[in-house]
A and B are shown apart, each in its own frame.
Chain A
Amino acid sequence: MKDISCHILDIVNNSVHAGAKVIEVNITKNGITGAFILQISDNGTGIPEEMLTKVTDPFITSSKLKKVGLGLPLLKQNAELTGGSLRIHSDSYKGTEVWAIFDSKHIDMIPEGDIALSVKTIISAHPGIELKFRYRENEEEFSMDTRDIKNELGNVKINAAEVLEFIRAMITENIVALKQITLTDKHKTDLIYSNLR
């Protein structure tokens, strides 16, 4: 996988296959320590206990069409390359929670990519699923819920091309704004960073 945004799309597809109706995507970044946490949780059917230890094996899959399942193994690989890890918690019939922890200051860290485009693609392909997206950088955060958007839209469909483009622009602009806040606060960040050293 090229970037984080592709992983998000991929892991969310797992949730959709598990029959999830509500999916949450949380990204938490710490500019000081470099910790980058991607958390995806759903209310799907969950992973059976005997499968849970084997899901990161590339030759284990629930699919009958093919013999490989690379989504989680690739995410694990990319996380571990930066010295991070992958954690999966699952309750049968309640849902699954995936945590991927990266060190964003590591040289092998993959780029974030176009996260807004991934969110747009998820909504466009699965308009019936409720997606909660949250992006947190240092102390500031942006969050979005498709339920709020649907309330606002009324009888207009959420997968209309104009609405999708609006959602993508909204996410992109807000993420850029978050990054600008941290830049103006650079002085403060630098201070904390030097203290840690």
Chain B
Amino acid sequence: MNKIKSLADLRELKDKLQAKTKLRDKSESPEQNVQVKVAMATCCIASGSRETMNYIVDELDKRNIDAVVTQTGCMGYCYAEPTVEVTLPGKEPIVFGYVNEKKADEIIEKYIKGGMLVEGIIPVNYKKIDE
């Protein structure tokens, strides 16, 4: 039987991570980071936003993208849950609806990495032409 993980095993992991975070801290400046907000209210949890959030956290780390992933309350688009708001540095925030793992992958690959818009945008904050 494999040994069950305990707090003592965390020490090994810590030494490994310390070397890694030093490299990362240099490139860390808040306005340069991608910000991802996952809605996590009752409606969102019931439709699977927990899985979406974990997928995004894991994948952004795997693909070496510096991003801040946080959660928000219900944005009022309960019909389109799980919803995710992505803010690229220097751009307006964009809200995506029906974000399952497949959609999340598309958003990371196309929008966060390449700046290309993908389907499923909920028009929340648009400006009129005469504004």
Interface of A toward B, CB cutoff 8 Å: 1-2, 6, 9-10, 13, 17, 63, 65-66, 69-71, 74, 117-118, 120-121, 124-126, 148-149, 152-157, 160-166, 169-170, 173-174, 177
**Contact present for B5 and A156 (CB under 8 Å):** no
17 residue pairs of the A-B complex, CB under 8 angstroms, read A1-B45, A1-B46, A2-B46, A6-B46, A13-B71, A70-B42, A70-B43, A121-B50, A121-B53, A124-B57, A125-B71, A152-B11, A153-B14, A154-B14, A155-B18, A163-B10, A165-B58
A68 to B16, CA, bound (A): 46
A170 to B6, CA, bound (A): 6
Q: Determine the residue in chain A with the shortest Cβ distance to B68.
A: A159
Task: Evaluate whether A13 and B41 lie within 8 angstroms (CB atoms) in the complex, with A66-B76, A124-B57, A153-B14 already known.
Answer: yes
Q: Determine the residue in chain B with the shortest Cβ distance to A176.
A: B4
Query: What's the tally of chain B residues with a CB closer than 8 Å to chain A?
Result: 35
**Contact present for B40 and A149 (CB under 8 Å):** no
Contact string against A for B residues 85-107, beta-carbon threshold 8 Å, 1 for contact and 0 otherwise: 00000000000000000000000
Task: Evaluate whether A117 and B7 lie within 8 angstroms (CB atoms) in the complex, with A6-B46, A65-B74, A153-B14 already known.
Answer: no
A153 to B41, CA, bound (A): 30
A71 to B14, CA, bound (A): 37
A74 to B41, CA, bound (A): 13
Q: Determine the residue in chain B with the shortest Cβ distance to A6.
A: B45
* Chain A neighbourhood of B40, CB < 8 A: 9, 13, 121, 125
